[in-house]
Amino acid sequence: MREALQFYIDGRWVAPHGSTVIDVIDPADAGVAGRVAIGDAADVDVAVAAARRAFDGFSRTSVTERAELLDAIIAAYQKRAGDFADAVTAEMGAPAWLASAAQVPIGLAHLQVARQLLDDYAFSEQRGATLLVKEPVGVCGFITPWNWPLNQIACKVAPALAVGCTMVLKPSEVAPFTGHIFAEVLAEAGVPAGVFNLVHGDGPGVGAALSSHPEVDMVSFTGSTRAGVEVARAAAPTVKRVHQELGGKSANIVLPSADLEQAVTGGVGAMMVNSGQSCNAPSRMLVPAAAMPRAKEIAAEAAATHNVGAPSSNAQLGPVVSGVQWDKIQRLIQAGIDEGATLVAGGPGRPEGLEQGFYVRPTVFADVTNDMEIAREEIFGPVLTILGYDDVEQAIGIANDTPYGLAAYVQGEQQEAQAVAAQLRAGQVYLNYPELDMTAPFGGYKQSGNGREWGAHAFGEFLEVKAVMGVAAADR
């Protein structure tokens, strides 16, 4: 049984202030995978104080010193790849192959991208007689979710370290083990005491204390829009910087020029990755109304190829993360049926032979209208909705008719797809299922959040800009 009963503060593993410990549930069988200690505001105070003490020294380190530190972190991370993969599978049910092939590598990729960018990043710029200097924002509070745990930890920690910030991380209490191992990696790599701190806990206890803490200069949160609103409210009295990567209900427009079979099959596959538990999943597929009958057939055939099974098997889909999540998904599947959408694959209940654990049948609804609950709410499970449109202008209108704006997808002839992309209100647009670009900025419009992660844009989130006027270039 795994245990995460200590916190990493000021370069040491320490006992929590309180005594609260909760079970971490294994989604595969609903048994106990381990235990995690739950911190409180007192633990946050200690961790933030350590980060504040460390900031003056670490913020003045050279680029070379921070580059060498990232090199050491990358090496230590690679040595623990197997441990990370096992932890991801145990805590959030990712199939073993997905943990090894995607969940762990994406965390490493963020570290590597930050390291590569650091060599050439301009921390100062001369403009006439004014010197613009980019300086680390200060002490950062990080609140990360369970669905891609290493991705969301590393895409915050890597750029923050690269530019000279110090930090306190609260990983999800639902999936805490990867965060715990990540702290062990940073300790092994020799990150100076107080620069990185970890406090386990829940949102009301630790998340709220981090968000509202007067000595935290920035809070970066990834999670639901509802929780993001609470983080912003807690942060407001101290006027700290708030970065949010929130929910999504991304449209996938299949243009008349697209290869329908390829576009629909690819869209089903993209939706089902990680059991549909991705904020940028293409959950609303838009097809020409005349093509709806054939799209239903293709989608049903594609969904049937996505088998569900234990994370230790070679199944494409494992369980969803928790009983709470399973119940929400089941409620929304039933809502789709009650609203009159056509169920073309999957449906309520567990797949046959999987009576234990939080398994969901890969589900596809067609003949969906954009006012249905299943087209409005982020389901966060393996559930695809297919909507029809009469012309491309209407498709763009439907795609933008959502409070979210994290991502969008367009399939079809390249120039037409680009023209449609220009009209979509989303932070990322994927044309014809491209390879993932780890340097592209990631973040959303509207209620999908504010700010950007990944690549050079992530550096900017953790920097303040100071204008020093009256500096001649020759004086530098």
List the domain boundaries for the chain: 2-246+447-469, 251-438
Q: What integer pLDDT is reported at residue 475 of this predicted model?
A: 62
Same CATH fold, 251-438 and 2-246+447-469? no
**pLDDT score at 472:** 80
What pLDDT shows up at residue 251? 98
Residue 245 falls in the annotated catalytic set:
yes
For 237-248, the pLDDT digits (tens) are 999 999 999 999
Give residue 474's pLDDT.
Answer: 64
What is the reported pLDDT for 476?
59
CATH hierarchy code of domain 2-246+447-469? 3.40.605.10
**Where do runs of H (alpha helix) occur along 213-366?**
225-235, 260-272, 292-304, 323-339
How many Cα atoms sit within 13 Å of 403 on the Cβ side?
A: 12
Domain 251-438: CATH architecture, name and number where available? 3-Layer(aba) Sandwich (3.40)
Q: Which stretches of the chain drop beneath a pLDDT of 50?
A: none
Q: Give residue 62's pLDDT.
A: 98
The yes-or-no answer on residue 155 being catalytic is no
Report residue 141 as tokens.
């509070």
**Do the Cβ atoms of 406 and 448 come closer than 8 Å?**
yes
Only one residue has tokens 């369980």, namely 319
For residue 244, the model assigns a pLDDT of: 97
State the pLDDT at residue 462: 98
Sheet holding 130-136, edge to edge: 124-127, 130-136, 463-469
Residue 119 CB neighbour total at 10 angstroms? 9
Given 279, 378, 453, 461, the catalytic residue: 279
Distance, in Å, from the CA atom of 269 to the CA atom of 307, rounded to the nearest integer, reads 11
Give the residue among 142, 132, 246, 234 at the shortest CA–CA distance from 195. 142
Catalytic residue among 245, 378, 453, 461: 245
pLDDT at residue number 378: 98
> What predicted TM-score, i.e. pTM, was given to this entire model?
0.96
